Amino acid sequence: MNKRLTCLICIICLLIRANHSIAENGYELWLRYYKIENQNLVHRYRSIIGIPTVIGDSPTVQAAREELTHALKGLLDFTFNFKSKLSPSSKLIVSKASHLVSREDLNKIGDEGYLIRSSGKMTILTANTDIGLLYGVFHFIRLLQTHASIEKVNIASAPKLKLRMLNHWDNFNRTVERGYAGYSIWEWHKLPEYINQRYIDYARANASIGINAVTVTNVNANVNFMTTPYIEKLKALADVFRPYGIKLFLTAKFSAPIELGKLKTADPLIDSVQTFWNDRTKEIYSKIPDFGGYLIKANSEGQPGPQDYKRSHADGANMLAKAVSPYHGIVIWRAFVYSTDNTRDRHKQAYDEFMPLDGKFLPNVMVQVKNGPIDFMPREPFHPLFGAMPKTPLMMEFQITQEYLGQGTHWVYLAPLFKEVLDADTYAKGKGSTVAKVLDGSVSIHSLTGMTGVANIGTDMNWCSHPMAQSNWFALGRLAWDYSLSSEDIAEDWLKMTFTNDTSFINPIKKIMMQSREIIVHYMNPLGLHHIMATGHHYGPGPWVSNLNRPEWNPTYYHKADSNGIGFDRTATGSNALEQYHPEARKQWEDLNSCDEKYLLWFHHVPWNYKMKSGKTLWDELCRLYNQGVEEVSWMQDEWRKIHGKIDDPRYTHVSQLLMIQAKEAAWWRNACTLYFQSINKLPLPAGYPVADHTLEYYKNYRALDAPGNGGQN
């Protein structure tokens, strides 16, 4: 009988473990509140927390209370009966503007910051606003998830940037432009009556990392979203987001006065056009009182804009700014522009159009600038507009979705890319004028500050297609809150919150994450090569493409490989794009012999036999890096295999299979690119270099018919 009972218990335990594995599908993101196994830690946490007191009854405070309840139940396996009033037995006190801390300390954290202080006997979590309390609760939960000490903490945290945003490129038909994780999560045909739980969990995830604004529609805008029925649908989303401190913005099409208002023009200086926008904006605010404002893409890639009427970007932005100004809204005007009639280096176009407009935008306009001057490449120099428009608040636009970085199948942790740009020195007001300090208004004083990321979110169960791609959403939010955080610390927090606190898992996987961006640069775009992806969908290599209508759509435009050398000359002897940078900033790139080799072919056309710092010729070094990238993906696979059994099987297997794709495609990149460039320079491959498994003609003729993401440019 005892033997049978023992077998039955074993079977039940196996079933429980199996069910646990099945449940590990990544849906929880980093809000994964699984029981802490270390019982000593559990007991210590319980004794410090006691019976929590959460004071307040607003929807935001209720969200904070619910999140804390959910987290404490899951992590500590204990149901806490919260108090709503302060008592002598209270140990964890969550209260707005607590009298237990000084007004001076509260003044330092502003409207969204929070304080967490513990003396060992009492822990106080306080803020000036309800949303500050919610942010503080998520920080406190993060301490528990990462097994940090909460006995004696003294945390004062406030965001460095005011607007911390996600841009969704979601279309009217629920496809997602440059999206690799399924369809749009917004079920327009069910809104406004049906609220999917996913919307609430999305808001929770954003609030947990400090995201406070979103656009839910594509910058290639559809005017239908400005009609009354869709304003009602947007209102339903705004109502979900509001308790979590998230403002809804709308991408608007500049030609809406013609398409919706039946006007004959959208000229921003025409009174009837201004009236159209005033009326439409008034309707939106009547439904969504905290509506954030408009995000506009204009006169870029065929989108309508003020230049259609010989007006400036400032004319267009200011017209909309006047419409939202009575409601304290803002306009975010994208600086990503390049046009068919501009034959100059694409690197220069945004600067040429926007720098002369510095000081001409109304105070409630932000200009949103991509991190680099081309288009979200695996590596780019920082955009020259940063530091060049001191009278205009600039907003950073990063891409979280991996349009040019392997899309939904390659493992690339983007925090090092984000940090590389944020820490870059513009020298706008002398040494130390970093891009981050331009953004936060400390280089030139601005009341509007912000950072956004193009979202990688879709209907896939795990939200982001690749389980490890969730880290980039997480990193964007954390850096928008505090750009001084290190990539390593963000990675460690994310791994602990998403997988396990086991250091035998954390340490090797964090090492992979920290190297993953450089690895993809090696096998895709080494030494400053850029935009040599296949055209349209940008999936896979296409350095040979040269037959598209617009020159800047062709990879050959960017690498300019010929029998003599390779690379784009952007010095004074070429396009002179370097003139757009401050003299101290461009010193690192302008001299061929001292140029940072990471950007060598971005700024210089270099002879194939040029001697690199390694002692190799440029050609041999290029080949070495391409092959190194392939070998490094094999290393990633080996390291991942070593952690088998340390996390749940479903996610382990998912990542393993995606690494197989990444390894295959890294070799595809290496073979296709080196064969193509060899056909140009006629040089032999270095001794021992792997033989390609196909001919160059095979790679040229290959058509990725199943490439993910729909077409179009952004």
Distance from C-alpha of 321 to C-alpha of 659, rounded to nearest angstrom: 47
What gap in Å lies between CA 483 and CA 677, rounded to an integer?
Answer: 39
Q: Which of 239, 259, 301, 488 is catalytic?
A: 301
Candidates 24, 403, 518, 648; catalytic one: 403
- Name the DSSP class of 326: G
Task: Give yes or no: 403 in active site.
Answer: yes
Determine the Cα–Cα distance for residues 261 and 443; give it in Å rounded to an integer: 42
Report how far residue 145's alpha carbon sits from residue 33's, in angstroms, rounded to the nearest whole number.
7
Residue 372, CA distances (Å) to 50, 420, 564, 598 in order: 50, 11, 28, 14
Task: Find residue 154's DSSP bridge partners.
Answer: 117
Beta pairing partners, 124: 93, 117
Q: Are the C-beta atoms of 479 and 161 separated by less than 8 Å?
A: no
Contact 458, 181 (CB under 8 A): yes
Residue 375: count other Cβ atoms within 10 Å of its Cβ. Answer: 20
Q: What does 402-429 look like in DSSP terms, one character per residue? A: -TTTTTTSS----HHHHHHHHT-B--BT
Greatest CA separation for the chain: 90
Q: Which helix (H) or strand (E) holds 556?
A: helix 555-559
248 φ, ψ to 5°?
Answer: -90, 130
Preceding omega of 708 cis (within 30 degrees of 0): no
DSSP string, 32-89: --PPPS-HHHHHHHHHHH-S-EE---SHHHHHHHHHHHHHHHHHH------BSS--TT
Active site residues: 301, 375, 403
